Structure 1
Amino acid sequence: MGRARILLFTGKGGVGKTTLAAATAARLAVEGHKVLVCSADPAHSLGDAFDRPLTGEPSEVDTCLYAAHVDARGLVDRSWQEIRRQLRVALAGAGIDELDAAELTVLPGVDELVALSEVARLARAGPWEVVVVDCGPTAETLRLLALPEAVAGYVERLRGPARLASRSTAAAAIRLAEHLDGLRELLVDPEVTSVRVVLTPERLVVAETRRTLAALALRGIQVDGLIANRLVPRASRWRGPAASWLRTRRAEQDRVLAELGTSTTLPVHLVEHRPVEPVGTGPLLELAGELYGEADPLAVPFTGGPARPLLTIRTVSESVHELGIALPLTDTSALELARVGDELAVTVDGVRRLVSLPVMLRRHTVVDATADGDGLVLRFEADPADTSGGLA
C-alpha cells in the first residue's frame, strides 16, 4: 500500500473546520476508503462532532472510519524528555555549562512538533488510505507547519557539539534531524499533503484567509481549496423583517466572497448555515453531501488544477534570467525582500522564509523586482565583479 493521503483542515477559530473535517472523513469512509480523522487542535472538539469520547489511539467510529485525538502534551512527556536528556549530555560533554545546556534543549514549539510527528506516524503505521487532520486555528497551524524547517536549523547547530560527546548522542541528534527532514518532505509533497482552509464570509476572516494562503504558499504547502461555511439562506420568497435581514446579510456575504474570488484562483465551495449543529455520522454525511455533491472529495477537480511550483526560472538572454516566486499577493500584502548569501529572505505579512537560490543565479545580481496577484518576479543579471547579489 502506498502512502496515505493527508488532508489538513484549518481556519480561524469558530468557523466550523472541525465539523467539516469530520464530515469529509465520514464521506470518504462511506465511499470505501479506510479513513483516520484525528485532531491536532488543543481544543479537541472532534469527539463532540461524532458524539463519542476519543483517545490518543484510533478507535472505530463507523465502517472504515476511525478517529483519535493527538495528545501532544502526553507525547512530549513520554518521548521528548529522553531526547532532551541526551542532547543535554552531549552539550555538557562538549564543554557547555550544564545550566546553558539545559536552556538550549528547551525547544520552542515542541508540543506542536510532536503532534505533527504523531500525525505522520499514524499515517505511516495504520492501514489508512486517507488521514484527515483537524488542525488548530490558522495562526497555530502556520506555526505548526513551519516548525520542521525552523527546528531543523536548531538541531543542526547541536549536531556539532553532539558529535564531540558520544556516538550514541550524536546518532540521536542525527536521527532527529533526519526525522525533521522527513516531516518537511511530507508537508511539501502535493501528491500526499494538502490543506483546505475553512472560512466564514466576513471581511476580517477573509483578510486572515488571504494571509494564510500567502504563508502556506511561502512554505511550499499545497492548498487544494477554500470552504466558505455558514452562508445564510437567500430567502428570496420570504417576507417580513426576518427575511429582509437574511437577504441583506446574504448580499453582504456574496460581496465578500466576490472580493475573495478576485484575489485567488482556488475554488471556493459554499456551505449554508444549518439550524441544528450536525452531530454524528448521519448529519455529518448530509453536510458532506452539500459540500461535495457527487464529486469525490479526493478528486483533482477540487483543487482547480495542479499545484504551482514555488520557484520558476525564465531565461531572458544569456546573462539575464527571471525568477518567479508563486505567492497569492494582494494590494495590502506587506512584502519585504533581502538577499542573504545564496538565499533570499522573503517576508509576507510577517511570515518569513529563506529561499535557496538556484545554482545558476547565485553569481547573478538582482536588478529589479515586481509583484502582482501571481507572486513575485525578480530579474537577475550576470555581474562577476559584484558578489553582493543586490537586495542588500
Structure 2
Amino acid sequence: MRTVFVTGTGGAGRTTVATALALAGARRRERVLLLTTEPADALAGTGVAAGAGVPVRAGPDVLASPGADVLAPGGPDVPVPAGRDVPVPAEDDAGVTGLTVVRVDSDADFRREFLSFQDRADAALDLLGAVPLEDGELTELPGSEQFALLRALKTATEGDHDLVVVDLPPVRQAIALLALPEQLRRYLRRLLPVERQAARSLRPVLAQLAGVPMPAQWLYETAARWDAELALVQALVESPDTSVRLVAEPGSAAAGRALRTARLGLGLHGPALDMVIANRILPTGSAEPFLAALSGRQQSAIKEWREEFGGIPVQEVPHAGHDPQELADLDELIDEPTGRTCDPVPGKGWTVEDRRADDGVLVWRLPLPGAVKEQLQLVRRDDELFVTVGPFRRILPLPSVLRRCTVTGAGLRDGELRVRFLPDPGLWPKGR
C-alpha cells in the first residue's frame, strides 16, 4: 500500500491537489482512499462531492458512524443508518470506481472517545465522587482533530487499499501530526512503564487492604491499547512506501520560507519528500504587465526551488482560472507526472559507521537536508539524543551499540549530521 501525505502552505490548494491525486489513482483502477478533515462545503469545491458521482463517507471509521451525513450525488445530504457502509458507485462515465473519500469528523470522534474512556474509568471516577458528563454537554477541545486523524490513519492501515492519500493541514501542523505517534508512545512508556505491570497480582490484595477499588489495571490496559494503535500509525509514517507531497503557490517569500521549514521538519521527522507541487502557475508571455511580472516571479521561485530541493521533482500545475467544480476540472489540473505516485523512496539511512580501526570512534550519521549549524542543537541524556533543528525537536533513542559510548563531538556536512561516539572502556566488552 502506498501512502501519500499532502501538505503545504495555507490556501495553496492542498485539498484540490490531494483530491486530484486520488482521482488519478482511481483512473488507473487502483483502490484509493482519500482522507480529509475538510468540512463538507469545502469538499464541494474540489469536484469530488455532491453532483460529482463520488460519495463522501463519514470518519474516522470507514464505516459511517451513527448520525453521520453523506453527500449523495445530485441530492441533499442523506443520513446514514448506524453501522451501514456507503457504497461507491459502479463504473460510470466519470470512471471513478474504487475511489473512497472519508471526511474525518473530529467533533464526533472526540465525543465518542471521551465517553468511551469515561465508561472504562467508571470505578476511578466513582472513587473521586465525579459526576459523569453526557454526550449533549460535550464540546470539542483544541487538538482533537489531530487525534481523530490518527485514528483514521490507524483504520486505513487495516483496509485493503492500493493508495491512501491524506489531506493534511498546513506544513507546521502537518509535521507535528506526523511526529505525534512516536512522541505519545514515549510519554506512555515514561508515565506507565511496562515493567510496573509485574505487580498486577498484588492489586486485588491491596484493594482488599485499602477497602477501595484499584484503577491501575484498566489504566495499564488502556495505555497498552493506545500504544498498539499508535505503533500501527508510526509504522505507516515510517514505511518506505509512505511519502509527503508539498503544495505551494510560488511568487511570495512566505511560500519559500514555508517550504524550507517543511524540508527541515521532514528531514528530522519524515516521511521522505517525493514531490513539490508549484500550484496555480500563470502562463508566460502575457501582454498584461501585472500578469507578466507575477509570472516572472513564479518562474524565478520555481527555479530556486529546483536548485534547493536537488533531486526532488518540482511539478508545475497551471492556474485553472476558476475553482474546480467537476471531475473533468481535476483531470485538467493533474498531468501524468504530477498525478502518479513516485517509486518508494529510501529510508532515512540513519546508520552507525564503525571507524574504531581508524579513529577509535563510532559515527552515527543522520541525514538532515536543509539544516544549518546555527539552527542545530544536540543534547545527550541517558540513552537518548535530543536533536533540535530550527523549530523542530526529536528525541531519538540511541542504538544499543552507542549506549555504551560517550559523545565526543558532532559535525554537519552536506546536509548530514555526524555524531561521534567513543566506546566507554568500563562498559565496552574487552576484545571488541
TM-score by structure 2 length? Answer: 0.74
Match 1:65 to one of 99, 116, 121: 99
Q: Name the stretch that deviates more: 256-265 or 172-181.
A: 256-265
Which residue identity does 1:149 align to in structure 2? E
Contact preservation (8 Å) 1:329, 1:375: no
For 2:184, which of 142, 151, 165 is the aligned residue? 151
2:8 & 2:301 partners in 1: Cα distance? 17
Deviations for 1:157-207, whole angstroms, at most 9, x for unmatched residues? 55468865364443232111111122111111122x221111121321121
**Residue 13 of structure 1 pairs with residue 47 of structure 2:** no
Quote the residue 1:213 is aligned against.
263
Cα deviation code 1:100-140 (max 9, x no counterpart): xx9xxx99834312222113314423x43212111111222
Contact 1:329/1:372 (<8 A) preserved:
no
Alignment of structure 1 residues 1-392 onto 2, 5 Å: 4-41=1-38, 45-50=42-47, 52-53=49-50, 54-56=56-58, 57=64, 60=88, 62-86=96-120, 89=123, 109-125=143-159, 127-159=160-192, 165=215, 167-191=217-241, 193-201=242-250, 202-235=252-285, 238-239=286-287, 242=288, 244-265=289-310, 266-289=312-335, 292-293=336-337, 297-300=340-343, 306-318=345-357, 319-331=360-372, 334-384=375-425
Cα shift at 1:26: 1.1
Residues 1:107 and 1:281: Cα distance change in structure 2 (over 3 Å): closer
Q: Tell whether the 8 Å contact from 1:365 to 1:386 is kept in structure 2 after alignment.
A: no
Q: How many residues align?
A: 362
Cα drift, residue 342 of structure 1: 1.5
Deviation (angstroms), 1:284: 0.5
- SS of alignment partner, residue 44 of structure 2: helix
Counterpart Cα distance in 1 of 2:302 and 2:43:
28
- Cα 1:48/1:343, change in 2 over 3 Å: same
Which amino acid is 2:143 matched to? G
In the alignment, the residues of structure 2 paired with residue 11 and residue 74 of structure 1 have an alpha-carbon distance, to the nearest angstrom, of: 26
Aligned CA distance change for structure 1 residues 261 and 375 (closer, same or farther; 3 Å): farther
1:70-127 Cα offsets, whole Å, 9 max, x none, are 101201211243225535856997xxx778xx9xxx99834312222113314423x4
Contact 1:330 1:373 in 2 (8 A): no
Letter paired with 1:370:
G
Q: List runs of 5+ in structure 2 lacking aligned partners.
A: 51-55, 59-63, 65-85, 90-95, 134-139, 204-214
**In structure 2, how many angstroms separate the alpha carbons of the residues matched to 1:36 and 1:22?**
10
AA at the equivalent of 1:325: L
Q: 1:258 to 1:372 in 2, by over 3 A?
A: farther
Amino acid aligned to 2:42: S
Amino acid at match of 2:88: E
Deviation at 1:310, TM superposition (A): 4.6
Would you say the 8 A contact 1:198–1:226 is kept in 2?
yes
Question: Given residue 34 of structure 1, which amino acid in structure 2 is its aligned partner?
Answer: R
Distance 1:107 1:150 in 2: 20
Q: Name the CA distance, whole Å, in 1 between partners of 2:182 and 2:125.
A: 22
Structure 2 CA distance for aligned equivalents of residues 98 and 323 of structure 1: 52
Amino acid at match of 2:14: K
Q: Secondary structure at the match of 1:276?
A: coil
- 1:390 is matched with which residue? none
Q: Structure 1 residues 59 and 245, CA, compared in 2 at 3 Å: closer, same or farther?
A: farther
Helix, strand or coil: the match of 2:421?
Answer: strand
Pick closer, same or farther for the CA change 1:27–1:51 going to 2, 3 Å: closer
Larger Rg, first or second structure (1 or 2): 2
Partner letter of residue 180 of structure 1? L
Residue identity opposite 1:75 in structure 2: D
| CA RMSD, 1 decimal | 3.1
Contact 1:308 1:326 in 2 (8 A): no
8 Å Cα contact 2:320/2:333 also seen in 1? no
1:319-349 deviation line (CA, Å, top 9, x unaligned): 2122111111244862111111111100111
Q: Counterparts of 1:63 and 1:269 in 2: how far apart (Å)? A: 27
The CA deviation string for residues 206-255 of structure 1, in whole angstroms up to 9 with x for no partner, is 211111122122123222211111222111xx43xx1x333332322222
**CA distance in 2 between partners of 1:178 and 1:199 (Å):** 35
Which 10-residue stretch deviates more, 168-177 or 72-81? 168-177
**Matched position secondary structure for 2:45:** helix
| Distance across 1 between alignment mates of 2:235 and 2:188 | 17
Q: Distance in 2 between matches of 1:339 and 1:180?
A: 26
* Worse overlay, 59-68 or 32-41: 59-68
* 258 and 299 in structure 1: CA distance in 2 versus 1, 3 angstrom threshold: closer
Unaligned runs of 5+ residues in structure 1 are 388-392
Question: Using the alignment, how far apart are the partners of 1:110 and 1:276 within structure 2?
Answer: 33
C-alpha distance 296-285 of structure 1, shift in aligned 2 (>3 A): closer
Letter of the structure 1 residue corresponding to residue 346 of structure 2 = A
Q: Secondary structure at the match of 2:348?
A: coil
Aligned equivalents of 1:333, 1:37: Cα separation in 2: 39
SS in 1 for 2:409: strand
Quick one: which amino acid aligns to residue 154 of structure 2? A
SS class of match (2:3): strand
